């Protein structure tokens, strides 16, 4: 989740379900918190180290971008068919067009 979900209640509830919460810290207006985050990022960059949570977050953000493009650009937001097979077909055409679009972008 993005920094808008940085709340102790959400974090604890996620842990109580046995999940590993992937919530970025939001320093809000705290200068001390901003400084600590900046120093930690500098140390990670210096050591060339990325925690597993950040790797998972980066992977998740890529899939969220793909889902967003399928919804916004390739017709998955307004599906006007009924039935499992028709909806699946509609969504797979969106995935096919997304894959073709990405291949075209690679070729450019």
What distance in Å separates the CA atoms of residue 4 and residue 15, rounded to the nearest whole number?
18
Q: Do 81 and 41 belong together in one domain?
A: no
Domain annotation covers residue 55: no
Which pLDDT band, with edges at 50, 70 and 90, does 2 fall under? low
**Structural domain span for residue 17:** 1-49
Range in 27-36, 52-61, 67-76, 92-101 the model is least confident about: 52-61
Give SS3 for 107: helix
Q: How far apart are CA 98 and CA 42, in angstroms?
A: 36
CB 37 within 8 A of CB 27: yes
* Mean pLDDT over the full length of the chain: 86
Burial class (CB in 10 A: 0-12, 13-18, 19+), 27: middle
59 found inside a domain: no
pTM beyond cutoff 0.85: no
């Amino acid at each position: 989740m993005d920094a808008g979900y940085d709340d102790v209640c959400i974090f604890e509830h996620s842990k109580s379900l046995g999940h590993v919460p992937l919530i970025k810290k939001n320093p809000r207006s705290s200068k001390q918190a901003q400084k600590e985050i900046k120093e930690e990022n500098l140390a990670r960059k210096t050591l060339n180290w990325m925690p597993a949570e950040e790797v998972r977050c980066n992977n998740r953000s890529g899939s969220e971008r793909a889902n967003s493009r399928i919804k916004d650009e390739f017709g998955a937001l307004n599906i006007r068919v009924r039935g499992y097979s028709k909806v699946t077909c509609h969504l797979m055409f969106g995935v096919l067009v997304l894959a073709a679009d990405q291949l075209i972008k690679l070729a450019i």
